[in-house]
Amino acid sequence: MSKHTKVAILVAPILAVIGYIAADYYTEYQAKKDKIYQLVNDTPCDVLAHKCVLKSGDLKVSIYDDAGITTINSTFPLDKATLFLVDTHDQGKAYPLGMTNSPYYWHSKTPLRAQLENSGKTQKMRLIANIKGGKYLAEFYTNQLK
């Protein structure tokens, strides 16, 4: 066996370990980069009747309102969530959602039910949900479906 073969046999495992560690660091770095995804609804939303589901790939977010408490439920744990009620001038009022019992459920007290019940009109809403560096954005309308 030549000296070049001996050196190669000794160095190859070290290079393999270094390559494995470098690949792990690179993958972790890529995962931490901010990514933006769009949440869309396939059917008309009625938040008051618990009929509003937004989707993006495997993520599904259900939005509903019970007695003035607007709640979102997701299929993956969220890091943070913010709901916006948008007025006629396209200005959104932010309602940061707080985690309830688990990172799958978030809620906040909002005037959404009162606005929809009093006027019966359509309400424009926006949602931002954060999951491990990914931001999921949605803009949708809710109204009372009969």
pLDDT of residue 144: 67
Same domain, 9 and 71: no
Same domain, 83 and 128: yes
Angstrom distances, CA of residue 21 to CA of 13, 26, 28, 29, 62: 12, 9, 11, 12, 39
Domain count across the chain: 2
Same domain, 26 and 82: no
Same domain, 136 and 119: yes
Same domain, 19 and 70: no
| CATH code of the domain in which 127 resides | 2.60.40
pLDDT of residue 28: 85
Same domain, 119 and 55: yes
Return all residues near 10 (Cβ < 8 A) that are at least 6 apart.
none
Same domain, 83 and 132: yes
Same domain, 45 and 114: yes
Same domain, 19 and 39: no
Structural domain of 5 = 1-33
- Do the Cβ atoms of 68 and 109 come closer than 8 Å? yes
Same domain, 21 and 39: no
Same domain, 43 and 22: no
Sequential pLDDT tens for the chain (146 residues): 888 898 889 999 999 999 999 999 998 888 777 789 999 988 888 888 888 999 998 999 999 998 889 999 999 999 999 999 988 888 889 999 999 889 999 999 999 888 787 666 788 899 999 988 789 999 998 876 55
pLDDT of residue 8: 87
